[in-house]
Structure formats: structure tokens, C-alpha cells
Amino acid sequence: MSYSAIKVIKEAFTGHRGWKPLWRRPEPKPEYDIIVIGGGGHGLATAYYLASEYKNKKIAILEKGWLGGGNIGRNTTIFRSNYLLHDNEKFYEMSLKLWEKFEQDLNYNAMISQRGVINLFHSDAQRDAYVRRGNSMLINGADAILLNEDDLRKKCPFLNYDNARFPIQGGLWQPRGGTIRHDAVAWGYARAADQLGVDIIENCEVTGFDIQNGKCNAVRTNRGTIKAKKFGVAVAGSSSAVMANAGLQLPIESHVLQAFVSEGLKPIIPGVITFGAGHFYISQSDKGGLVFGGDIDGYNSYAQRGNMTVVEDVCEGGMAVMPMIGKARLLRMWGGVMDMSMDGSPIIDRTPIKGIYFNGGWCYGGFKATPASGKCFAHLLATDESHPNAKAYLLNRFEKGQMIDEKGMGAQPNLH
Amino acid sequence: MSQKNRIDGGLIDRQSTLNFTFDDHHYTGFKGDTLASALLANNITLVGRSFKYHRPRGILTSGSSEPNALVELIKGSTKEPNSRATTIKLFDELKAKSQNCWPSLKYDVQSINDCFAPFLTAGFYYKTFMWPKSFWEKVYEPLIRRAAGLGELVSLPDPDHYDRGYRHCDLLIIGAGAAGLMAGLVAGRQGLNIIIAEEDFLFGGRLLGENEEINGMHCHDWIENVVNELKAMPHVRLMAKTAVFGVFDQQTYYALERFTDQIDTIGPRQIIWEINSKHVILASGATERHIAFGNNDRPGVMLASAMRDYTNRFAVRPASRVAVFTNNDSGWLTARDLDKKGIEVTAIIDVRSEYEHQKIAKKYPNIPVYSQDQIIKVHGYNRVKAITLLNGAKIHVDGIAVSGGWNPSIHLTCQHRQRPTWNDAISGFVANEASLPSGMKVAGAAKGTYTTKMVLQDGLNQANIVLSELGHASSKMHTPSANDDTYHGKTFWSVKETKQRAWIDFQNDVTTKDIRLAVQEGFYSVEHVKRYTTLGMATDQGKTSSVIGIGIIAETMNKSIQETGTTIFRAPYVPIAIGALGGPHSGKHFRPTRETPSHQFARENNAKFVETGAWLRSQYFPDKNESHWRESVNREVLGTRNNVGVTDVSTLGKIDVQGKDAAAFLDKVYCNTISTLNMQRCRYGIMLREDGIVMDDGTVAHIANNHFIVTTTTANAVQVYRHMEFCRQCLWPEMDVALISITEQWAQYAIAGPKSRHLLEKIIDNDHDISNTHFPYMACDEISICNGIRARLFRLSFSGEMAYELAVPARYGDALIRHIHEIGKTFNLTPYGTEALGVMRIEKGHAAGNELNGQTTAGDLGLGKMVSKKKDSIGNVLSEREGLTDPMRLVLVGVMPCDSKHKITSGSHIFANNLACIPDNDLGYISSMAYSPMLNSYIGLAMLRNGTDRFGEKLRAVNLLQNQDIAIKITSPHFYDPKGERLRG
Amino acid sequence: MKINHPLLGPRNESEFTILGDAKLLNRPNILESNQAQAFYEYLYLRDNPIGMHRELWFHEQGDRSWLIVTRNTLTHEISKVELAANVVNKEGQAK
């Protein structure tokens, strides 16, 4: 069912009785061509691009809980392509371009709002690093503008310029970055994939892989064994646990990242702002809530909740950089399980087991990567070749010393 | 006209009249009022507008579950948006304004949205605003954003102060209602250290709004007696206005005390308390919910319990003709209490049959009762005018008391992702006793116990259990006599015969139709429905609405409520000001400031300071006649290179390494060999991370037998020390070596320049020979200065000049810099800052932070030969991986503009001439740059692909970000004195 | 979180810095035949279990001891805290 102005008006006058479920609830079939494990953003996008670009394949998505219940439903909704290293920048810029046509491609309004992303800098060295990064962005066809303090005072008069421990010198601004209604991304991909014949199977947990002679033939689930030729694993924070079922250890740790939203307020924050001298970033949703976050808690966790040390650290950062938010109230806090890789960059690659393909290690950059991740993973699953924009995201890059380490933090996942 | 709805009785102080304004109109209230009760006393019932449809809204509740009555509290130039009128303790000169309405609360233009309600159903925006594409950014979204939000934030800094505190106790009791007070009394009498935290500004909980007896006295008197007794116990701490909002790991509880809040008394506005208690009794009571029926959101519709609160506690008549609509016994209590206060109750409409409510009905003979009946429609716009019942009767009323049953306040039992259990008998979710947070017990209404007598008894029992767990004797107290009528209720969510929209979530405007539409569109999971309709996501966090929504999902899908389940409960239990969570760490106090030993001296000498991590370092020392910082820096460089300069290098990390395995240990942590270093000699050292990338560089000084002092960069001091302790304790604990950080213990000054030795000779004591023969480049020793003050001297050079670093115990740091300065006058000494330091290090081609960026190997920095392959050291093996030895890696080179007038910029990328600026052609980037007064040109360091083979090549430094494209030539990074003759002089 | 330091009693998580999987104690011997592989596995392949996890914490704002904390990654319950040096020494003797 396509959404159109006429349809919306007709339904309004007929009591909305004509709207149908966004996706079917099929029983799993005994066999598919390709099974995508994980009904989050990346899994749904992968299935959508598989179905739309590599046709005539029987595809299923297996989701252990409810669709979109992982990190696609618990992030801070930001998209941007402001990376330093070309291997990342070209991938995230591809993603940003896909976001820009998401609504037309999927006939679903995810309220993509390109109100810009500003990364503040507070020292000469930080400025130099941002100039290098801004140039990387421009070299890759993205957009970037260097703001000085005067520019910022005009754009964001509410920042703390005059009483700051770490004075604001300027910012690197990506006007095309912004925010998206995150749940709508999952629903939009689910609806579009379903319409292309993908079976979305919720409450179906993978409990094992049938592997013979180094090749995977089927997955065991709580809803029975399902065969397929290829299996694409896109389960973010659960990567280590799922891949352990296939006997693989990953260069990944699972960490909790907390995020926060305030009560609804009249619009005041123009886009996304990231503090450069502490852990704090913020945007404001179309509904008015201040959506903000900071650093991961730092310890391995699957609890989907964190502790107050980080909450206080984030709010200290917020008060340091924009002390007007003191009287806004934090309404909800939650945690997502981040698949933190060993160099801070993702993996989209084959695994040593034939038939099993892996997509993970997104750290806390996974949401904005959703369309490109889906497209590149679909390309890999369909063609057995890495997509040109994801050629560096290989599983064996750590063995070879070809890390893609944006922050230069080394093999320390909680610092990326 | 003043307080026309004020009636007799209540817990207010009629001697203390308080003035306040609402929307600029002046009113009075009494001490003990909330803003809500004072507004009702003044007959103000329209107080807010809803989020989406801008429907007129009144006061629904009497506490923190309020979805409607949100106001902005004004204080000077700041305001506090979204404040619940029902929890604001009235104070004199309070100023409140309605929000989310324009031009006024009564005539709100955006209430037109309500006419478009057929379009604005749940999820409408996902299906629309897509045509044409360009309209979303330019037209639709700006319109939506303009309508967004409720209250307004002022864009000025929050002027208030906040604090943090820590408390510990044997037993934390959350909630001071009947159960909490009883538990406190029992445990307090047995001597336990107790904290009782109560969200309200009065203790008593639900009892404050009731009109019943305990132990033969009015319940208000019983509360007063108990509170007085508890207050007299030194080991009991009663905390009012304190909401425990979160349960964290290892029995850590967090609470917000609204300490002074808006009231002008001394102290922080709010305090966040971390409370550590192994035992907790959760006595948080229960929250009443409403029933969804047509236009049930009109001002004048109020929870039945809130009506009792306003009548009994606040002595306010909430309405003059009231209908009670209930599915349980507690609605009847409201009818009784209103009747007693002379407020007309025109009808009790009970969805239950006469048989089901017979027990309670017997006690209320004088009120017309409509059994098995329902309200299908409310008449009136800004205020309830009448109701129509299912049986067709139309009754004129100006208030409706609604009771849809009670939700035990189990929030704090479920914050660790526990799932509550549906209890049919009380028609509510209760905590799963098997999965409570460690050490927590639930008492009273919070676990679904609804009669006063049983609540008191439960408080007593739970306290006794805690006493026995702590090894104390249990109390011999008896449960006080109190009302023990059993509670009966029936599960009933919404009036299905209603044609009008029936509200579930008042603030977010979620109706029963929205829930049904969500299910129709395939949103079956309760999490999906919440996200699709925004049910329960408003500032009241769904306290009144969530369970009704779950009930209606269950009904729509023909599932049980237990199967439908709840969404996850998450902290905070009540919204918490971000300012409070930030605590005292705002403005300059965001992080501590570390000052160097020469800070005072530098300030007196007009230094400009720069933040270097937590340190403040001298950046440069402008002279009076210098107008641009570069003039100062050039002077400092030339002064140092021509004569002598001094700078504070105390911020460099200093680690003291001692023990008979010290040298062997350092061989492990440095990639180059240290064990061959002679006594009284220094060596440059590089530490790798285990992944083969450079972690840090610095010097190692073999100062005495089995005694080394190593330095780190300022930025990495903490990490390097942590890493070395890891190596010592976790990898090689068998080694005899001890480490201690001595960064703060020693003040250290670099004295550099051709006259440095002459200057030093005037400072050090006579028995030390520092001639070039006795104290050559890279020598070090323990010496004394100024007649016997202990010092350490290192002949190290970062500037490339003959130079020394002189260290003294930190307490002499200030005196020493002044002494050097004084003696230095005859040598034209120039104090220099980090800028000149940076210029000189770039002239010498030393890598620093911009090059030691965690992405470079020793080889990249031209130091590959330092990685000794004769020994094991951290990072040695993995540094040999193919990706790290690739000849096409970026390596350190020098760059100069072809035209010395051109300025090059750090962060520029490097391209060959005539090649497009695309990723494949990118050869590297400029990492550091400076103006060199020695070369009279800008110079830079760059990381360049295949760089060592490119010396002499001409390339371009392209800075697209700032529209620069500069011709550069590639050189060796050693711009100045490449043979190092000056530093050995 | 609170970590019950074996010498100093319960301490707030904010006093500590975490490194991660305690397998980092088992640094391969440089003389091993397949060093490159051994070091790769040592540094990059981490235990990341749902449940009990042995991990290294540094008491940075305290006595600067490295601790091995056994902690449940699903519930955050801590069942054991040991001084790393003691454990390594003991294991060394056992070898």
C-alpha cells in the first residue's frame, strides 16, 4: 500500500479503516536463499537492498525480539559524514546521500532533518585536527565549513563563551548532517522490504548454526531449523554472542552507551552540537525534547542500562558548554549495547565459515551508517565481493595491521 | 472573589497568606498550598494546553503524575518550564505563566489543530509531508518545529547553584505514607540508622488526603505524632521534598532534594544525593488512574483521589457539583468526603453491578447511584458543564471525579529491567518479588495492599524483617487500629460506546482510537505502540496513562494483560533538572585547573595562558610594545637561540623508577634499549603500544644506581603511568621494580640557549662541574643549588640549543624561577612559553602531539631503527605487521612554502601538481606548522606518503576548507642545525 | 557501580579506570614459534560474554593497584575482586 496525499485525505474522512499492517507476520519457511539475522536497522536495510537491487531471491529476516528493538530504537538519531580517514569518510558520505533520498525511495517519512552538525573545538591542536578532517570531508565530496568564534556567537548565542574552563575557539560544521526519527527508519525499511516479499520473522531467536566441513547450511532457532545458502549476521551488540554459536571470537567488545531526552521544550537548539572538551552532544527533536548523550560507561555490559557516573559527567559537559539547559529536566534515560570494535571502525566481511557473513563493530556510529551498511552488506551477500565503499572493512585487518583508527586509540574498544 | 473555593479544615496555615501571580493576575493562597490547590481555591480551572491539539486542560492530579497542569515558573530573567502546578509548594511572590498557548491560555490559535484531528492521528506524519520532496525541509518541518515543545527555555545561563552529596544508612525507606512511617517508627525505635525520603513537602503520603482514624485519632494527628517521634531520634533522618529517582548497581540509590527550589533561602536550589543502603523498604504507594471516555480531558475532570486531597488536605472545593465515575471502591470515598464537606455529589456512576459494589454502597445511602453505568460524553469546552450517561441521562455537573483503579508505584522495583506481574485481584501490576533489586522490600500500597490497616501492618512486618536480617531484635509493636475495609475493583479501561475521542495520555493527546489504529497497522508489541503513538512519553512518564494503554492494547488484540506486558521502566522516576545532575561543575569549575610552579611568576610577567589538558601553561609573554602574539613568539625564539631562555616544563610527566630490575623493566616498556645506559646519562626513549603504534616519547635518566627518572609528554602522563603500572603489576610482577609518579613533586625548568651554561653556573653550588667535558649533552646528575637545595640537572634539549633541565622539589619552584630570572638579567634571559617551544621543536623536526597522534609508528616518525629487535618489548611483535611496515605509509617530512611569504596551514592535505583533489590522489597532510624567525619563512611538518623519497619535490598544500592551495617543497624535517652542533656545544 | 577493593573496601566506580578482559594478563612469550598470531589473538580477540567476565580495573584515584574484577555483564553484580599482582604471582608459581 503506497502512501499518497489522496490516500491520507481519504482515510481521514473514512475513519482510518483502510490502513493495513506495515509488514506481514509470516511463519518461517523451511528454506530461503539468504537469511539476515537481526531485525534492527542494519538487518532491515540489508534485506531491503537485497530485495530491491538483487532480485529473485527468497529472503528472510530473523529477529529475536520485536522489530527495531535494538540500537535503531535507542540511539540519539544523528546522521553525519564528518570522518577523518578516507576509508570511513567515503562510506559515511555514501550513507548520507542515501539518507537524503530515503523518504522518496521508501515512501515513508522518517523526518530527516538536515539542520547541521557542529563539532566545537577548544584548542589550536583540536582546530588543526578539524581542518584536516574538514578537508577529508571535502575531498570525498561531502560538505564542511570551518566556523570561528564570531560565526558561532551568531549561530549559537547560548553557548558558554565568556565563563568557560575550556574556551570555545570555533567549530567544524557539516550543514547536511542532522537528525532522523529513528524508529521510522526501522518501520520504513520493514514496510518496504515486506512489500518486496521479504519475510520478517519476529520473536525468532537464533540459537545455533549447522556447520559442516566449514560451511553453514542452516540456523537453529526457537521456531525450528531454517536452511539457507547464505547467512548475514547484523546483530550489533549481540555480535559476540551470536558468532560464538558459530565458534568465532571477534575483535569486538559490547559496551553500554547511555542516552537521554529532556521534557519537550520550544525549539532552541539549531541542529546537533558536540562539545570538544568533555563528553556531551545534543540536538532537539521535532517534538521538542533535547536529545543528548556522551561517552560509553566503559565496561562490558549487556544490561542496556548504565550508572550515574556517566550521567553526571554528561550533564556536567552540558552545563559547561550551554549553561542555559540547567532548568530543562532529564525525562528518560536508556542504554544500548554497542559493538565496540578494536579500531573504532566497522566490519562488513565474510567470515572463516563459508556461508556466514558478518556486519558489526559499529561502535556508536551505527545509526547513521544504516543505509550504507545495508547496501554494502547486501552487495557482499549477493556478489561475494566487498562493495567498493566498504573494501577496507575487513575482518582480518587487525592481523595485517591495517587498522582504521580515527581517534588513534589503539586496541582499546572503550576509548573509540 | 479572593479564594472563593476555600473551605474549612485542611493542612494549611491560614495565618500565612502568600501572594502569587498566574498569567499576570494576582491571587492569594496560604502556606501549605501547592500552586494547583491555590489556583483551585481561586476558582482557576483552566491551566494549560495539550501538546498536539492544544485542547484546554485543567488539573487532573495532586502530585507528580500530573500531565496537564504544567506552567512556567518565572524568577527574574530566568524561568523553569514544564513545572507541575501540583508539586510546586506555594511561596510568596511566586510568578507562574501558562505555556504552549498563543496569544493566551483562553484563546489559543493553535487549538485549530483540534479541527484537523482526523488527519493528525497516531503516526500521521510518517505517511505524509513527502510531496514535493523539497517541501519537507522548507515548509513542513519548520511548521512542525514551530509547533513543537511545551514550555520555553531561556537562552541565558541558569543562575542557580546545585550540589551533590553522599549519604549512608542501614535502611532507606522510600515514601513516608502509612507504610513508610510505620516501618520507620518500628526500625527507628530499635535503633537503626534510617533515612526516610519523601517526595512531597509534607510527610504522610496518601493519608494527607484522607479523612479517617488511626489509633482512635484523626489520621493527620497520627502522622504528626509519628513524625515528631521520628524527628526526635538522632539516628533517623527525615528528608522531605526528596524523590528517590533511580536504583543503580551495588545498592546505590539516587535522590533529588528540591532543597530551596524557587524559594529565596540560603543554599543550593537542588541537591543530588547518592544514598548507599544495603536495605531498602519501598513504600512509594500507588497512583490512581483514570478511565477513557468521551471528552474526558475537559477541565473539571479530576482523579477521585486528587479531589479528596484538595478537599481534605488543602481545604479547597475542587468543584461545586460533582459526579463520581468509578470502577472500584475508592471512588466512593471521594463521594463520602465531598459530601461531608458540603460539596454536592450528584451521582456515583459505577461500572460495576449493584452486587459487585454492594458492600461499600451500604455505607453511602444518600447519593444517587448509577450501577453498571458509564459516562459516554462530557459537555463543555473550557470547563465541564454536564455529562451524558450510557443510559441516556444527562446530568449537569462542573466536576467529575474519576477512579479507574490504582497502579502500585513499582517503578523502582523494575529499573533493572525486571518485568512486573499483573495482579487481577487489584487490577494492577505489582513487582515480581523474586526479582527485586538486591536488598529491596516493598511495603503497603506499592505492592497492592490497599486498606489502611493492612498497609500499616505491612510496614511493621517489613521493618521487622529488616531488623532480623541486620541481627536486631524485632519490634513488639502492634499494628495501630485503622480502617480495614477490603478493597474491590473491576478492570475497566474505556467506555466503548463513546463517539467522541477518549483520552488516555492527556499531555501527548493519545486517544483510544490512536491505540486501536496502531494495532490495526501492525504495531503489536507494546513498545511499538508506545513509539508509534507516543503513549506514556510525556513529562508525566505515563504514570496515569501507560497501564490504560496496555489494557486497551490487550483488549484490541484479545490478549491477556500479562502477555501484552509493559514497556521497560527506566530511571528517573521523576524528571530531574540537568543543572542538578551537573552539580557544582559549571563554568570555570567544570574541571579542576592545574597550575605550574611558575604560574604566579608568569602572571606577574604578563603571560598569556593556554589550557593544556587540565594544566594552564604560559603560552607567551607579550612585551608592552608588542601588538601581535607572533612578535612576542619571534622575540622569545630569537632571545633563546641568541642568548638564553627559560620555560616551565614541570607539566611533563615524571615517573621515578627504582629497583634492581629497573633497567630490565624499562627495556620491556621502551622499544629501544635502556639497560645499556650508563649512570648519570640520559637517553631518548620511545614507548609503543602493544599494537606497535607509538604511545609516547620522552627521556630516561639513569640518575643513580638502580634508579631512573623517565619523562612523558604532558598529554600522556596519566596513561603512561597507568600503562607502566600495568606492565609492573600484571605482566612482570616478579620484577624488583617500584614506580611512582613525581610530576607534581618536582618543579622543572628548561634553560636553553648558548648562554645557558653561564647562567646555570651562577645558580648551582660550586662543587658541581658542568663544563662540556664533565657534563656533556645527555648527562644528568643529582646536584645542589643556592647553597644546598637539592636539585636534579639534566642536559636535555628540545629546542636544539645547548640546554639544561633543572628540577627542584616543587616547593622551591616559585623561588627558583624568580632566582633564574634575577640572575638571568645579565645574560638577557628571555622567559618563553609553549608557542616558542613549539616553533623551536618544529625547527628541529621533533615529533609532538600532532604527530604522536596514536596513528603513527616509530618508522613513520623516522625513528624505526630505535625499535630493538634484540629484546622483548611492548609492541615489538605487532609493529612488524605488514600494514605497519608498508613502504607507502605516511612518514614525517618537513615542508616549506615555495614562496616564503605564503602561509601554510596545519590540516591541509598534500597533492601533486595537476592532480584532482580526490581521495586516491591524497598524499598526506600537514600536521604542524609555525613561522620560523630563523628561516624567515613558514615551515611545517607533514605526514607524507613515501615521504623520505620525496625530499626536494614540489607539491601542493591544499586546504579546501579555507580556500588555500599553496605550492610547497618537501624537505628533511630538520630545518635548523641538522647536525646538532649547537646542542652539544 | 561499587568495587569492593580487597585492601580498601567498597569504592565508587569513578575512582577506577577499566582496561577490559583479564586475558591481557596472559601476554605471549616472545619466544613462541608463531608470535605474530599469538600476539594478534592476545591483543584483539576478547572474551565478551553475556554473564561472568573477568576484567582488569586500575585504581587510578586510589592506591594505583590493578584489580581483577569478576563481574556479571548482564546484571553488573560483582562476585570477586582480587589484586592482579597476587593472582599473576600465584599463577606463576603454579607453572
- pLDDT tens profile A77-111: 999 999 999 999 999 999 999 999 999 999 999 99
Contact A7 B127 (CB under 8 A): yes
User: Number of structural domains, chain A?
Assistant: 2
Q: Which residues contact A18 (CB under 8 A, 6 or more apart)?
A: A7, A10, A11
3-class DSSP assignment, residue C55: strand
pLDDT digits (tens, 9 = 90+) for B517-568: 999 999 999 999 999 999 999 999 999 999 999 999 999 999 999 999 999 8
Query: Which CA distances in Å does B492 have to A403, B292, B328, B443?
Result: 60, 9, 9, 26
Given the DSSP bridges, would you call strands A252-264 and A272-274 parallel, antiparallel or unpaired? unpaired
Nearest to C73 among A300, A342, A398 (CB): A300
Q: Of A20, A325, A333, which is closest to B570 when you measure between CB atoms?
A: A333
Predicted TM-score (pTM) of the model is 0.96
Answer yes or no: do A207 and A166 share one domain.
no
Neighbours of B914 (CB within 10 A): 7
Q: Is A261 exposed, middle or buried (0-12, 13-18, 19+ CB in 10 A)?
A: buried
Q: Is the pLDDT of residue C74 over 90?
A: yes
Q: Same structural domain for residues A169 and A195?
A: no
The residue among A413, B494, B606 whose CA lies nearest residue C48 is: A413
Same domain, A212 and A267: no
Query: How many CA atoms are closer than 13 Å to the CA of B640, on its beta-carbon side?
Result: 32
Question: Residue A247 burial by CB count (10 A; 0-12/13-18/19+): exposed, middle or buried?
Answer: exposed
Give B82's contacts (C-beta < 8 A, 6+ positions apart): A263, A264, A265, A329, B70, B72, B99, B150, B151, B539, B575
pLDDT, tens digit, 9 for 90 and up, residues A206-223: 999 999 999 999 999 999
Using one digit for the tens of pLDDT, what is the confidence trace for B21-53?
999 999 999 999 999 999 999 999 999 999 999
Q: What is the pLDDT of residue B633?
A: 98
* Segment A146-169 mean pLDDT: 97
Question: Domain for residue A305, yes or no?
Answer: yes
Same domain, A69 and A199: yes
Q: Is B155 exposed, middle or buried (0-12, 13-18, 19+ CB in 10 A)?
A: middle
Q: Which amino acid is at A166?
A: F
- Residue B250, strand partner residues: none
User: Is there a contact between B576 and A265 if contact means CB atoms under 8 Å apart?
Assistant: no
User: Considering Cα of B258, then B261, then B265, then B266, what sign does the dihedral take?
Assistant: positive
Would the CB atoms of C76 and A301 count as touching at under 8 Å? yes
Q: Is the dihedral of CA B191, B194, B196, B202 positive or negative?
A: positive
C-alpha cell at B545: 496513562
Rounded to a whole number, what is the distance in Å from the CA of C85 to chain A's nearest CA?
21
Query: What is the distance between the alpha carbons of residues B841 and B829, in angstroms, rounded to a whole number?
Result: 19
Final residue in a domain of this structure, among A287, A311, A341: A341
Flag whether A3 is in a domain: no
Whole-number pLDDT of residue B454? 97
In a domain, A171, yes or no: yes
What order do you get walking across the sheet with B344-350 strand by strand?
B301-303, B399-403, B321-326, B344-350, B369-371
Cβ of residue B585 closer than 8 Å to a chain C Cβ: no
Cβ contacts of B691 on chain C, cutoff 8 Å: 43
What are residue A289's DSSP bridge partners? A264
pLDDT(B602) > 90: yes
Three-state SS string over B276-325 comes to: EEEEEEECCCEEECCCECECCCCCCEEEHHHHHHHHHHCCECCCCEEEEE
Residue B520 forms contact with C (CB below 8 Å): no
| pLDDT classification of C91: cutoffs 50, 70, 90 | confident
Query: Which subunits count as partners of chain B given 3+ CB pairs below 8 Å?
Result: A, C
d(CA B577, CA B420): 28
Number of C-beta neighbours around residue A214 at 10 A: 9
Q: What is the pLDDT of residue B264?
A: 60
Q: How far apart are CA A62 and CA A64, in angstroms?
A: 7
Question: Looking at beta carbons, which residues of chain B come within 8 Å of C35?
Answer: 877
Summary mean pLDDT of chain A: 96
Residue B850: per-residue pLDDT: 94
Strands (E), A318-393: 329-341, 347-350, 356-360
Partners of B246 in beta bridges: B254
Compute and round to an integer the Cα radius of gyration of chain C. Answer: 14
From CA B500, how far away is CA B366, in angstroms rounded?
A: 32
Compute the C-alpha angle A107/A113/A116, nearest 5°. 145
Q: What is the CA radius of gyration of chain A?
A: 21
Over pLDDT 70: what percentage of chain B?
99
Q: Which of A298, A299, A398 sits opposite C44 (nearest CB)?
A: A398
Are A170 and A217 found together in one domain?
no
Interface predicted TM-score of the whole assembly (ipTM), two decimals: 0.98
Find the range with the poorest average confidence among A69-73, A373-377, B398-402.
A69-73
Q: Cα distance from C57 to chain B (closest Cα, Å)? A: 10
CA angle B651, B655, B660 (to 5 degrees): 165
What is the pLDDT confidence band of residue B366, given thresholds at 50, 70 and 90?
confident
- B722 near C CB under 8 A: yes
Query: Is pLDDT of B263 > 70?
Result: no
Structural domain for A122, as ranges: 112-177+253-341
How confident is the model at residue B485, as a pLDDT?
Answer: 87
Q: What is the pLDDT of residues B435-481, one digit of tens each?
A: 999 999 999 999 999 999 999 999 999 999 999 999 999 999 999 99
Asked if B376 and B497 touch (Cβ cutoff 8 Å), the reply is yes
Query: Which of A263, A337, A389, A415 is most worth mutating to test chain B (most B CB atoms within 10 A of its CB)?
Result: A263
Q: What is the pLDDT confidence band of residue C94, given thresholds at 50, 70 and 90?
A: low
- Chains B–C, number of C-beta pairs less than 8 Å apart: 68
Residue A1 lies inside a defined structural domain of this protein:
no
Asked if C48's CB is within 8 angstroms of A411's CB, the reply is no
Q: Are A341 and A252 in contact (CB under 8 A)?
A: yes
d(CA B774, CA B756): 16
Q: Do A45 and A123 belong to one domain?
A: no
**B690 shares contact with chain C (CB less than 8 Å):** yes
Residue B518 one-letter amino acid: A
The predicted structure's pLDDT at residue B262: 66
Q: Which three cell numbers stand for residue B169?
A: 544508612
Dihedral sign for Cα atoms in the order A337, A341, A342, A343: negative
- The answer to the question of residue A393 being in a domain is yes
**What does DSSP assign to residue B947?**
G
Q: Which amino acid is at B957?
A: A
In this predicted model, what pLDDT tens digit does every residue of B420-434 receive, in sequence order? 999 999 999 999 999
Q: Give the pLDDT confidence of B308-363 residue by residue, as tens digits.
A: 999 999 999 999 999 999 999 999 999 999 999 999 999 999 999 999 999 888 87
Half-sphere exposure of B947 (CA within 13 A, CB side): 27
Residue with cell 634539549: B797
| A contact residues 280-299, partner C, Cβ 8 Å cutoff | 298-299
Q: Is the pLDDT of residue B124 over 90?
A: no
Mean pLDDT of chain B: 95
Instruction: Please answer whether residues C65 and C7 qualify as being in contact, where contact means their C-beta atoms are separated by less than 8 angstroms.
Output: yes
Question: Where is the domain boundary, A320, A341, A362?
Answer: A341
Give Cβ neighbours of residue A41 (< 8 Å, ≥ 6 apart): A68, A70, A71, A72, A182, A185, A186, A189, A366, A367, A370, A373, A374
Helices and strands, number each (H, E), in chain B: 24, 51
Determine whether the interchain pair A403/B691 forms a contact, defined as Cβ–Cβ distance below 8 Å: yes
Q: How far is CA B525 from CA A67, A69, B418, B550, in A?
A: 9, 10, 17, 10
For residues A364 and A328, state if they share a domain. no
* B153 close to A (CB below 8 A): yes
CB atoms within 10 A of CB B210: 23
Which CATH number covers residue A374? 3.50.50.60
Q: Do C40 and A413 touch (CB under 8 A)?
A: no
**With an 8 Å Cβ cutoff, is C55 touching chain A?**
yes
C29 touches chain A (CB under 8 A): no
Nearest-neighbour CA in chain A from C89: distance (Å): 25
| A300 contact residues in C (CB cutoff 8 A) | 20-21, 48, 53, 55, 73
Cα→Cα distances B232→A83, B207, B229, B237, B280, Å: 62, 22, 5, 10, 22
Q: Hey, which chains touch A, using 3+ CB pairs under 8 Å?
A: B, C
SS3 assignment, position C90: helix
d(Cα A242, Cα A238) in Å, to the nearest integer?
6
Residues of chain C numbered 30-49 and touching chain A (CB < 8 Å): 36-37, 40, 43-49
Alpha helices in B413-474 (DSSP H): 452-469
Q: What angle do CA B925, B928, B931 make, to 5 degrees?
A: 125
C36·B249 Cβ contact <8 A: no
In a domain, residue A5? The reply is no
Q: Which of C29, C33, C70, C88 to mutate to test the interface with B (most CBs of B within 10 A)?
A: C88
Question: For chain C, which domains are there?
Answer: 2-94 (3.30.2270.10)
Q: What is the CATH number of the domain that holds A117?
A: 3.30.9.10
3-state secondary structure of B141: helix
Contact C46 A253 (CB under 8 A): yes
Asked whether residue A198 falls in the same domain as residue A322, the answer is no
Tell me which H or E stretch contains B423: strand B421-423
C-alpha cell at A299: 565496561
Local confidence band at C31 (pLDDT 50, 70, 90 cut-offs): confident
Is the per-residue pLDDT at C29 higher than 90? Answer: no
- B304 pLDDT more than 90: yes
Q: Are residues A309 and A407 in the same domain?
A: no
Kindly list the residues from chain B whose CB atom is less than 8 angstroms away from the CB atom of residue A267: 145-146, 148-149
Asked whether residue A281 is domain-assigned, the answer is yes
Same domain, A319 and A373: no
* Contact assessment for residue B744 and residue B810, using Cβ atoms and an 8 Å cutoff: yes
Place of cell 581517534: A407
Evaluate whether C66 touches C7 at the Cβ level (below 8 Å).
Answer: no
Q: Which pLDDT belongs to residue C93?
A: 66
Choose the final residue of a domain: A341, A358, A393.
Answer: A341
Q: Using CA atoms, how far apart are residues B224 and B984, in angstroms rounded to an integer? A: 85
For B611, the grid coordinates are 589550557
A262 and A406 share one domain = no
Q: What is the mean pLDDT of residues B179-194?
A: 98
Contact B862, B852 (CB under 8 A): no
Q: What is the number of CB-based contacts under 8 A between chain A and chain C?
A: 67
User: HEC states along B11-26?
Assistant: CCEEEEEEEEEECCEE
What is the average per-residue pLDDT within B220-249? 98
CA B878 to chain C, closest CA, distance in angstroms equals 6
Interchain proximity A299–C50, CB inside 8 Å: no
Please state, in angstroms and rounded to a whole number, the distance separating the CA atoms of residues B273 and B558.
45
Residue in this structure with the C-alpha cell 587540565, named with its chain if needed: B614
Confidence band for C95, pLDDT divided at 50, 70 and 90: low
- A161 and A260 co-located in one domain: yes
**The C-alpha cell that represents B34 in the structure block:** 501547592
Domains located in chain B, CATH noted: 162-286+408-469 (3.50.50.60), 290-401 (3.50.50.60), 492-586 (1.10.10.1100), 631-840 (3.30.1360.120), 887-985 (2.40.30.110)
pLDDT of residue B118: 85
Give the separation between CA B386 and CA B400, rounded to whole angstroms: 9
Q: Quick check: is A12 in a domain?
A: no
| Alpha-carbon torsion (B489, B491, B497, B503), positive or negative | positive
* Minimum CA–CA partner of A298 in chain C: C18
Backbone angles phi, psi at B466, to 5 degrees: -60, -45
Q: Which amino acid is at A269?
A: I
How far apart are the CA of A18 and the nearest CA of chain B, in angstroms?
9
Does B734 contact C56 at a Cβ distance shorter than 8 Å? no
- List chain A residues with CB under 8 Å of B849: 125
Residues 728-747 of B with CB under 8 A from C: 729-731, 733-734
